[in-house]
Amino acid sequence: MFEQDSEHHMVEPLPRDALPSVRFAGPAESNMIPDHLRVDGRVPSWDTATRKFTHLVEYFESEGTSHQAVSYDIFTQSWAGAAWSRLYEIDQRACEWAKQTVLLTFTGNYLLDSETDTFLPPVTFFARMEDAADARQKALSRALSDLDQWQSIRVIGPGPNGYPILQLGLYLSDSIQRDTIDSVIHAHINNCQIANSNAHHPREAISVRNGADGSQSPSAPSQLIHTLGRKVPGLRSGEGIISESWPRRATAAMLRGGQWRPYRFGKHS
């Protein structure tokens, strides 16, 4: 049995009044929204988009296996079951060799202008989070270059107001010090224009366990997989997205609109 350490935890973005204004030059945000995200030629409210997304999921649930013809994840109950099975499989294999697990949390400022409470469109928000993906990946590869083996699982889950938070779970074949991967947090801050150093202090944004901690579930050797899986919209209940809260539905709608996968694994950041 693996040794158990303190619980993983997550860093949420700071309250809006604690974040600086973020101003951008260039075209209006509404002009940057692609046509496939519009309704009758207009940019829908987030509430409208989330309701339409939920109705779409309910339709495919009622159509049985017809959702297999759709090229994106639609967060149905059948998808949720398949996703948990795959995550458990990844976790079980990794725990055969992993000596340490690490959880990294990345977020950003969701206010375009804190003085007027102008919010970034959700798809734009995460697109800007992804601007730092290459820098995060390079920093991660450099930081772990001395390890014989490592595996990552990346998930996107809801934060305040339904805006997404990116979390990266790592299985490592040897133990490392926390400051070894500080550079990954700094790569995000330095290359994401909406990131904020106050919300990404390495001591809080990085959580480390020695060993893959023993879980109560016989199908999941580590608690890491539960921490990650429960963040994915549609996986907390195992019944798909239509049984979950509005913030989780909103995040799922954002993921579908931006065509981002809610989780992926391999060696990604």
Determine the 3-state secondary structure of 19 from DSSP. Answer: coil
The answer to which of 94-103, 127-136, 235-244, 258-267 has the lowest mean pLDDT is 235-244
The whole-angstrom distance between residue 10's C-alpha and the CA centroid of its chain comes to 11
The reported pLDDT for the residue numbered 21 is: 43
**pLDDT exceeds 70 at position 67:** no
Q: What percent of the chain has pLDDT over 70?
A: 67
What average pLDDT does the structure give for the chain?
76
Alpha-carbon span 81 to 79, nearest angstrom: 5
The region of weakest confidence among 155-159, 202-206, 244-248 is 202-206
Per-residue pLDDT, averaged over 34-48, amounts to 69
Lowest-confidence range among 38-52, 95-109, 132-146, 167-181? 38-52
Residue with tokens 């195992």: 238
Q: Tokens in use for 18?
A: 């604690």
Band of residue 48 on the pLDDT scale cut at 50, 70, 90: confident
| pLDDT surpasses 50 at 53 | yes
Question: pLDDT value at position 170?
Answer: 94
Pairing of strands 111-113, 164-172: unpaired
Strand partners, 157: 165
Check residue 5 and give its pLDDT: 41
Give residue limits of the domains in the chain.
16-266
Distance CA 121, CA 223 (A): 33
**pLDDT of amino acid 134:** 95
3-state secondary structure of 101: strand
State the Cα–Cα distance between residues 170 and 168, nearest whole angstrom: 7
In angstroms, what CA-CA distances link 98 with 7, 221, 253, 256?
18, 11, 34, 33
Q: Residue 18 pLDDT more than 70? A: no
Angle between helices 182-191 and 133-143 (to 10 degrees): 160
Q: What is the pLDDT of residues 140-190, one digit of tens each?
A: 999 999 999 999 999 999 887 778 899 999 999 999 988 899 999 999 999
Residues 45-53 have a mean pLDDT of 72
